[in-house]
Chains A and B, each alone.
Chain A
Amino acid sequence: MNKPRFQSDKYHFAFLDEASKREIRRATLKAISIPGHQVPFASREMPIGRGWGTGGLQLTLSLIGREDTVKVIDQGNDDSVNAVSIRKLIEETSGIATTTDTTKATLIQTRHRIPEEELREDQILVFQVPQPEPLRRVDAKELGTKRKHSEMDYSGIWLTLYEDIVRWGEVTIGADYPCLVHHRYLFNPSPIPRWDTPRLHQSGTLYLFGAGREKKIYAIPPFTDVTPIQFEDYPFRVESFPGASCKFCGRNDVFLNEIYDSVTGELHFQCSDISFCLKNRPTKEDVL
């Protein structure tokens, strides 16, 4: 009696059929050609939930070949349940190698983080995107936001920043901070913390963004200007962790998570990028 599991021989290499992959790659090429512009594509139904990373997964599956090595992270963590699930799906449908080491991956699929280590020109970072439309905050309808993008009418979003400042004395956007791509299109960088946003600017790496539920693909090609929108007197600021450092590796120059100890309930901090943290620890004690 076999334990019920995925039968890879019944499915095509990397799940999708070649025609679907080609269509997705074509949309991807268009996205790279028009930095920050949201390219619609016929998003397929995937074996994970819509909104759980199907856009990223379709990009990943359409791009990988047998020589690739894939890393999947969720909130910076390779071992998070959703990362485990997606990595397993990629392994089982393609048979290609996966890794947790950022430096060894050719393609990294991510939810909500950019790895702490510097990415290279031969790597691709694929973002899972829940809400691709930065103007959705000010216009609920697609026809309206499309028109505003074409006219480069971003006054509504500037106004929300201004209102925030009037009401709270600060811009209150936490993650997914809207940025201008190469002085033309406003875009959502997917819900990465503001900490990661500066790393989109003039990076050597190709950044691809896939929104499966909203059926959009967009890209930041290498060496592109990415500017968070900000006022001169209220500049964009990244998160800070005053006085805090990682409980395990001691670093304080990385993005940290607040952790409540599951036994004592005590609060401490820990690197969000776990594989990077493991490399920095004095002992290789496994404390995922």
Chain B
Amino acid sequence: MGYTTVTGGQEAIEQSHQLVDLYRLSNAKSPLQVAEIQSQLQGLVDKVISESGFYAPSYATLAIKQGQGDPAEAVFLLCAYRSTLPRNYYSNTVYTSDMRVIRRISSSFKDIPGGQMLGPTYDYTHRLLRFDLMNEDDNQLKWILDQVRSEVTDNGETPTFRKVSDLLREQGLIAPVQSPEVEREPFDVTRQKVQFPTTRQARLQLLARGETGAMTAFAYSSMRGFGTVHPTIAELRVGYLAVSIPYPYAVDDEDSIYIGEVLVTEVESINSFKMSDQQGEVQFSLGYGLCFGQNEVKAISMSILERSLETPGTGPTHDEEFILLHINSLESNGFVSHLKLPHYTTFQASLDRIRSVKDRFEKTLEDEKGDVDGIEQTEVPIR
């Protein structure tokens, strides 16, 4: 059933929904199991929980299935669902030095206290199609698991490491950590409208939820010449962080309840040096990135953009309003796709205007015998 423009909207919508399911399942041998998506499409799940700012891997997986693998559609579903949930607590501050690290690298120093830890990464695989995956079967799955499990020595605890940036901080090459702000309710970008110029808190939240592709494009532009930030990564770490909330009936302020752990990617990048504001010392400036899931390019991009927004310059990445308002997946996708909605009345209004202007110009041209000098060359927007 086509896109019926005149009447019959109700029926058209219903048939369209049925077609979605038909297209989704018509070539399927069996329906995709949510558990399989969660375990085998982790890159996609991580992207969706990160871009929606909603750490709910199993719901994200359902959204991915429902949205047929389109990350924007999944983020949309997940964020809409979040609107139905009450906000009960803000967690206690989490310290990433306590992270249970599964991967940790530095590109600033060859060796670092605790050592580099490659962990799971595609970085050094050659991107050649593995045709053997076309028909991966249960035997292959078992063989790989047995093989890898026997090679990976299991030493129980996943390690924790101190921060690489502390090495430079000890030498006075990076500004000391400012004493933590007094614990107070954070500015929450999902509950309050962001005003510009905004706060670092709001900025980091918006960046942490930004769309990977948009952020990568902007960060790349900064490094290629349309900005000034091109950092070196002091440390990139991926791992699990324990999250706790204040104990609701606490007598003592220290009482808290452990509510689980989240997988995050954190990046600290070092940018060119400058005079520090506080002590007048010459120091490297840091860029910071942190997001849910293993999303390394996003976390690196975040650190570049975060630094960019703190740095004056003329490139697009130095403009807070420009960057922060355009990296949101839900908003950009929603507005661009709204063009598919009918625009009959507004377009009718534009038709009226172009005909009127056209008539007037044609008349002018006749009067002035083809002299087109001075006719406005700029485009008139239609809305």
* Interface positions of A from 1 to 43, Cβ below 8 Å from B: 1-4, 6-7, 11
In the complex, how many angstroms separate the beta carbon of B338 from the nearest chain A beta carbon?
32
In the complex, how many angstroms separate the beta carbon of A262 from the nearest chain B beta carbon?
4
Measured between beta carbons, the chain B residues less than 8 angstroms from A141 are 225
- Size band of the interface chain A makes with B: 35 or more
A interface: dominant SS: loop
Q: Which of A180-188, A232-240, A252-260 is near enough to bind chain B?
A: A252-260
- Please determine whether A6 and B225 come into contact, CB atoms closer than 8 angstroms: no
In the complex, how many angstroms separate the beta carbon of B311 from the nearest chain A beta carbon?
15
- Please determine whether A260 and B225 come into contact, CB atoms closer than 8 angstroms: no
Measured between beta carbons, the chain A residues less than 8 angstroms from B139 are 1
**Cα of A172 to Cα of B140 in the assembled complex, Å:** 55
The answer to the question of A161 belonging to the interface, with a C-beta cut-off of 8 Å to chain B, is no
**Cα of A252 to Cα of B262 in the assembled complex, Å:** 47
- Please determine whether B112 and A260 come into contact, CB atoms closer than 8 angstroms: yes
Measured between beta carbons, the chain B residues less than 8 angstroms from A133 are 225
The answer to the question of A152 belonging to the interface, with a C-beta cut-off of 8 Å to chain B, is no
* Interface positions of A from 46 to 90, Cβ below 8 Å from B: 46-49, 75, 81-82, 84-85, 88-89
- Please determine whether A259 and B109 come into contact, CB atoms closer than 8 angstroms: yes
**Cα of A262 to Cα of B127 in the assembled complex, Å:** 31
* Interface positions of A from 116 to 172, Cβ below 8 Å from B: 131, 133, 136-137, 139-141, 172
- Please determine whether A262 and B111 come into contact, CB atoms closer than 8 angstroms: yes
In the complex, how many angstroms separate the beta carbon of A271 from the nearest chain B beta carbon?
11
Nearest CB to that of A259 among chain B residues?
B111
Measured between beta carbons, the chain A residues less than 8 angstroms from B118 are 81
- Please determine whether B132 and A4 come into contact, CB atoms closer than 8 angstroms: yes
The answer to the question of B124 belonging to the interface, with a C-beta cut-off of 8 Å to chain A, is yes
* Given A1-B139, A136-B224, A140-B226; A6-B128 close (CB under 8 Å): yes
Measured between beta carbons, the chain B residues less than 8 angstroms from A49 are 123, 127
Measured between beta carbons, the chain A residues less than 8 angstroms from B130 are 4
* Given A136-B224, A140-B225; A260-B128 close (CB under 8 Å): no
* Given A2-B132, A136-B224; A84-B124 close (CB under 8 Å): yes
* Given A1-B139, A3-B147; A259-B110 close (CB under 8 Å): yes
Measured between beta carbons, the chain A residues less than 8 angstroms from B115 are 262
Measured between beta carbons, the chain B residues less than 8 angstroms from A131 are 224
- Determine which of A2, A47, A258, A263 lies in contact with B126 in the assembled complex, contact meaning CB atoms within 8 Å: A47
Measured between beta carbons, the chain B residues less than 8 angstroms from A6 are 126, 128
Measured between beta carbons, the chain B residues less than 8 angstroms from A11 are 128
* Given A2-B132, A136-B224; A81-B123 close (CB under 8 Å): yes
Measured between beta carbons, the chain A residues less than 8 angstroms from B225 are 133, 136-137, 139-141
- Determine which of B143, B167, B315 lies in contact with A1 in the assembled complex, contact meaning CB atoms within 8 Å: B143
- Size band of the interface chain B makes with A: 20 to 34
- Please determine whether B110 and A48 come into contact, CB atoms closer than 8 angstroms: no
- Determine which of A3, A262, A264 lies in contact with B112 in the assembled complex, contact meaning CB atoms within 8 Å: A262
**Cα of A82 to Cα of B105 in the assembled complex, Å:** 13
Nearest CB to that of B122 among chain A residues?
A49
* Given A85-B126, A136-B225; A262-B143 close (CB under 8 Å): no
Measured between beta carbons, the chain A residues less than 8 angstroms from B312 are none
* Interface positions of B from 274 to 294, Cβ below 8 Å from A: none
- Please determine whether B124 and A81 come into contact, CB atoms closer than 8 angstroms: yes
* Given A1-B139, A3-B147, A262-B115; A47-B109 close (CB under 8 Å): no
- Please determine whether A257 and B315 come into contact, CB atoms closer than 8 angstroms: no
In the complex, how many angstroms separate the beta carbon of A72 from the nearest chain B beta carbon?
13
**Cα of A133 to Cα of B101 in the assembled complex, Å:** 38
* Given A257-B110, A259-B109, A265-B113; A48-B126 close (CB under 8 Å): yes
The answer to the question of B114 belonging to the interface, with a C-beta cut-off of 8 Å to chain A, is yes
The answer to the question of A286 belonging to the interface, with a C-beta cut-off of 8 Å to chain B, is no
**Cα of A270 to Cα of B273 in the assembled complex, Å:** 25
Measured between beta carbons, the chain B residues less than 8 angstroms from A85 are 124, 126
Measured between beta carbons, the chain A residues less than 8 angstroms from B127 are 46-49
Measured between beta carbons, the chain B residues less than 8 angstroms from A261 are 111, 113
* Given A81-B118, A82-B124; A1-B140 close (CB under 8 Å): yes
Measured between beta carbons, the chain B residues less than 8 angstroms from A260 are 109, 111-113, 167
What 0/1 pattern do residues 114 to 145 of B give for CB contact below 8 A with A? 11001000011011101111000001100100
**Cα of A55 to Cα of B354 in the assembled complex, Å:** 51
* Interface positions of B from 41 to 63, Cβ below 8 Å from A: none
**Cα of A264 to Cα of B114 in the assembled complex, Å:** 9
Measured between beta carbons, the chain B residues less than 8 angstroms from A270 are 110
Measured between beta carbons, the chain B residues less than 8 angstroms from A89 are 126
**Cα of A263 to Cα of B161 in the assembled complex, Å:** 11
- Determine which of A46, A81, A262 lies in contact with B114 in the assembled complex, contact meaning CB atoms within 8 Å: A262
Measured between beta carbons, the chain A residues less than 8 angstroms from B272 are 172
Measured between beta carbons, the chain B residues less than 8 angstroms from A46 are 127
**Cα of A270 to Cα of B110 in the assembled complex, Å:** 10
- Name 18 extra pairs, CB < 8 A, besides A4-B132, A258-B109, A262-B115: A4-B133, A11-B128, A47-B126, A47-B127, A49-B127, A81-B118, A81-B124, A133-B225, A136-B225, A140-B224, A140-B226, A140-B315, A172-B273, A259-B110, A259-B111, A262-B111, A262-B114, A264-B113
25 of the cross-chain contacts (CB-CB < 8 Å) are A1-B143, A2-B132, A6-B126, A6-B128, A48-B126, A48-B127, A49-B123, A75-B110, A81-B118, A81-B123, A85-B124, A131-B224, A133-B225, A136-B225, A139-B225, A140-B315, A172-B272, A172-B273, A257-B110, A259-B109, A260-B112, A260-B167, A261-B113, A262-B112, A262-B115
Which residues of B come within 8 Å of A, CB atoms? 109-115, 118, 123-124, 126-128, 130-133, 139-140, 143, 147, 167, 224-226, 272-273, 315
Which residues of A come within 8 Å of B, CB atoms? 1-4, 6-7, 11, 46-49, 75, 81-82, 84-85, 88-89, 92, 131, 133, 136-137, 139-141, 172, 257-265, 270
